[in-house]
Amino acid sequence: MKINNPIITIVFLLFFVASYSQKKPVGTKSKKNPPNVIFIIADDLGYTDLGTYGSDFYETPNLDNLANTAVKFTSGYSNCPVCSPSRASFQTGKYPVNTGITDWIKGRKAENGTTSNDRWIVPDTEYDMKLSEITIAEALQNKGYKTAFLGKWHLGETEAFWPENQGYDINIGGWSAGGPHTVNGSKAYFSPYGNPRLKDGPAGEYLPERLTNEAIAILKSQTDKPLFMCLSYYLVHTKLEAKDEDIAIFKQKREKVGITEAQEFVNSAPWMATASGNGKSYKERIKQGNPTYSAMIKALDDNVGRLINHLKQSGTYDNTLIIFVSDNGGLATAEGSSTSNLPLAKGKGWMYEGGIRVPFIIKPPQCNKGKVIDTPVSGVDFFPTILDYATSSSPAAPIDGLNLKSILETSNGGQDRPLFWHYPHYSNQGGNPSSAVRLGDFKLIHDLELDDYALYNLKSDIGETKNLATTMPEKVNELKAMLNNWIVKTYDKKLEPNPKWNRSDLK
C-alpha cells in the first residue's frame, strides 16, 4: 500500500519509532529506583493503643488505614520491655545481650543505687551504643543512601555516640535524653525544647508537629539519592502533654462514655505486694481513658497521616518502605499508668505480653493490599528486611534478626523459631529481673528474682492468666533448656545477692 498523504506518513513513522523504543532485548529487566525507607518509632505505645489493634477509646484513623493496607503483625515484639535496649536492637539487628545495652540508659541501678528492697545486685548496662556496631544507617549509607534521624535517640550519654556518629548524615533532635527535656526553662513537648540537636521554634510550637515538618522538608529536598529516615517520635512517653483543643475532645468523650476513676484503676493486686524492686505503691490501669494521653495518640496519628499524605501527593508513596513500631509496651502499672494493655497482662517494664508485644506494621514498596500475619517477629528483624528491600543485600556481619521479605510477600508464615529476651534488671514499673523465650504458641518466663518459671499458651491464653508449668513439665524443660543455653552463649554477667536486702515478707 502506497501512502501519499505526508501527515499520515509522519504519524505512522512516529508510532513505529515509539513502538520500537519500548522494546527491550530479551533477558533484560527494567531498572527500578531503590525505595525510600521511613522507619517510624513510637515511644511507650501499647499494643492495644491503636484502633486496629483493639482500642475502643483512642482514635487512630491514619495508622489504622496504614495497617489495613499494609502488613499488620499481631505477634510483633520489641526486644526488651524498656526503651534503650530495644532501640539499639532496631539499629543493629542484635539482641540487647549482644549490644551490651540491657537496660534503659543509665538504668534504675545507676539512678537509685541498690536498695534494701532489691534481693539482688543486678549487672551494669552499657551507657552507649558502641561505635564498632554497624547500624542500619551505616549499612545503607555505604550503599548510596542519604540518611536522616529525627527525634528520640537515647543510645549515648555524650555526642560522640549520637546519630551523626552512627551513620546518619542528618540529626534533628537525637541526643542523650530519653524523653522531652524539662529543665532550665524548657517545656518538654512545647518549645523551648532544651535540646542541643533541635533549635527552639516559636513559643508553644508542639514537638510532634515540628518533627513532622522537618521530616517533610527533608523529603522535599532529597531527590538525588534514595533516603533512609528514622523518625523517632517522643510520643507517647511521659511527661504527658498535648494541645488543649485535643485534650478537650477526649475530656468530652470520656464524659459521654461515662468513665470514672474507679473504673480505670486497680490499686490492690497480688503482684503489688510482692513487687520487690521499688518498694513503692502501684496502681494498674485497666481501662483506657486518660484525655491527655488520648490527645497525644491523636497527635501521633495526625502527624503520621501528614507524612503519608505528603508521600502520596509527591508520588513517592508506592516506592517507599514504611515501618511503624513501638519500642516497648504501654505504661500500665506505675508512673501515672497512662494506658491499659488489656487483654495483655501488665505493661512497660514487665516480661508479660503487655511489656513486649507492640504494634508492628510494615508497608513494602508497591504494597496496596492489607494482610494480617500472626507469625512471631521482633525488632531485630528490621535490619535485614530493610537492607534487602533497599539494596538486595544481606548484613555483612552476623546479626540475630531474620529477613521478613518472604513472609511479607507470600502467604508462607515461615518456620517456627525461638524468640529470646533477657532483662536482668529491676524496672521502674514493678517488674522483676527476668528472661523469656517464645516458640510457637508457648512462652516461658523465668523470674530471676524468685528463680521461678511460668509457662503460657499464648494462642489460647493471650492474657497469660493460666500458668501451665505444673501440668506441662516436659514443655517447661524443653523451653528452659533452650533459654538457658542461649543465655550461657550470649551473656556472662550474673545477679549477686544483696547483703542489705530487707524483705523478710518475701523469704
Give pLDDT tens digits along the chain (507 positions).
444 555 544 434 444 434 434 443 433 334 579 999 999 999 999 999 999 999 999 999 999 999 999 999 999 999 999 999 999 999 999 999 999 999 999 999 998 899 888 999 999 999 999 999 999 999 999 999 999 999 999 999 999 999 999 999 999 999 999 998 777 777 789 999 999 999 999 989 999 999 999 999 999 998 789 999 999 999 999 999 999 999 999 999 999 999 988 889 988 888 887 776 555 678 899 999 999 999 999 999 999 999 999 999 999 999 999 999 999 999 999 989 999 999 999 999 999 999 999 999 999 999 888 999 999 999 999 999 999 999 999 999 999 999 999 999 987 777 789 999 999 999 999 999 999 999 999 999 999 999 999 999 999 999 999 999 999 999 999 999 999 999 999 999 999 999 999 876 666
CATH of the domain at 85: 3.40.720.10
Residue 422, by phi and psi: left (phi above 0), alpha (psi -120 to 50) or beta?
A: beta
The neighbour count for residue 337, using CB atoms within 10 Å, is 23
In a domain, 175, yes or no: yes
Amino acid letter, 75: S
In a domain, 100, yes or no: yes
Residue 13: the pLDDT is 42
Residue 147: the pLDDT is 98
List, as one string, the DSSP characters of 304-329. HHHHHHHHHHHT-STTEEEEEEESS-
Q: How far apart are CA 409 and CA 253, in angstroms?
A: 40
In a domain, 429, yes or no: no
| 296 touches 240 (CB < 8 A) | yes
**Structural domain boundaries enclosing 135:** 36-412
76: β partners: 377
Residue ranges of the alpha helices (H) in 222-275?
Answer: 244-257, 261-264, 270-274
Q: How far apart are CA 450 and CA 79, in angstroms?
A: 22
In a domain, 184, yes or no: yes
Residue 236: the pLDDT is 96
In a domain, 390, yes or no: yes
Nearest to 277 by CA among 143, 98, 107: 107
Residue 383: the pLDDT is 98
In a domain, 453, yes or no: no
CA atoms within 13 A on the CB side of 504: 0
In a domain, 4, yes or no: no
| 431 touches 351 (CB < 8 A) | yes
The neighbour count for residue 408, using CB atoms within 10 Å, is 20
Number of domains within the chain: 1
CB-based contacts of 84, cutoff 8 Å, min separation 6 = 101, 103, 104, 105, 125, 154, 155, 178
Residue 275: the pLDDT is 76
454: β partners: 445
In a domain, 179, yes or no: yes
Q: Which three cell numbers stand for residue 7?
A: 501527515
The neighbour count for residue 306, using CB atoms within 10 Å, is 16
What backbone torsions phi and psi does residue 36 show, to the nearest 5 degrees? Answer: -70, 155
